[in-house]
Amino acid sequence: MFTVTNASNLHRRFSHMLVLALAALSMLMLAGCISSAKVYNNDKTVVYNGAMYNLANVKQIKSDISGKLSDSKTVDLTAADRKQVEAYLKEYNPIYVRMVFHFDDQEMLYRASSVSKWSEYSKMKSSFESAGKSISGLMADKKKRQIKLK
């Protein structure tokens, strides 16, 4: 008779311990699920010259450098090297250079000015390429939401 009471106390303690262990285990699993579910917002914006460009649904980003010569002819300078730019400068000094980013159907004018020396063009292009790298970094980083270009 006294073995039955010990067995029931032992059974009751075991069931309480089992319920407590299962509750602790389920709390740990729930906490793990909540902390591993990271949701990132896809709203990405570029701020430049007081304007804000939303890149959330942009599928393609392109860059374009063009030069307008003194005879009103426009040339593509996107892949032009130093010799080509200097040849244009020698013949058509100055050149009106326009640097643009295209976000699908939206256009962001980055720089537009007259250039009379290679060094001026080189500084403009370096700044333009740096801005392009910043925009690429923004799009690649899931956590980053906005950049301000200079």
**Same domain for 49 and 33:** no
Number of domains in the chain: 2
Percent of the chain's residues with pLDDT above 90: 45
| DSSP tag of 97 | E
Task: Provide the residue range defining the domain that includes 22.
Answer: 1-37
- Could you list the beta-strand ranges (E) of 59-138: 61-68, 74-76, 95-103, 106-115
Q: How far is Cα 70 from Cα 72, in angstroms, rounded to an integer? A: 5
Percent of the chain exceeding pLDDT 70 equals 83
Q: Are residues 75 and 96 in the same domain?
A: yes
pTM equals: 0.70
pLDDT in tens, 34-83: 555 555 556 888 999 888 988 888 889 999 999 999 888 999 999 999 99
Burial class of residue 135 in the structure, from the number of CB atoms within 10 Å of its CB (0-12 exposed, 13-18 middle, 19+ buried):
buried
CB 102 within 8 A of CB 64: yes
Say which residue the tokens 């030069």 belong to: 67
Residue 115 shares a structural domain with residue 134: yes
* CB atoms inside a 10 Å sphere around CB 105: 7
Q: Are residues 126 and 70 in the same domain?
A: yes
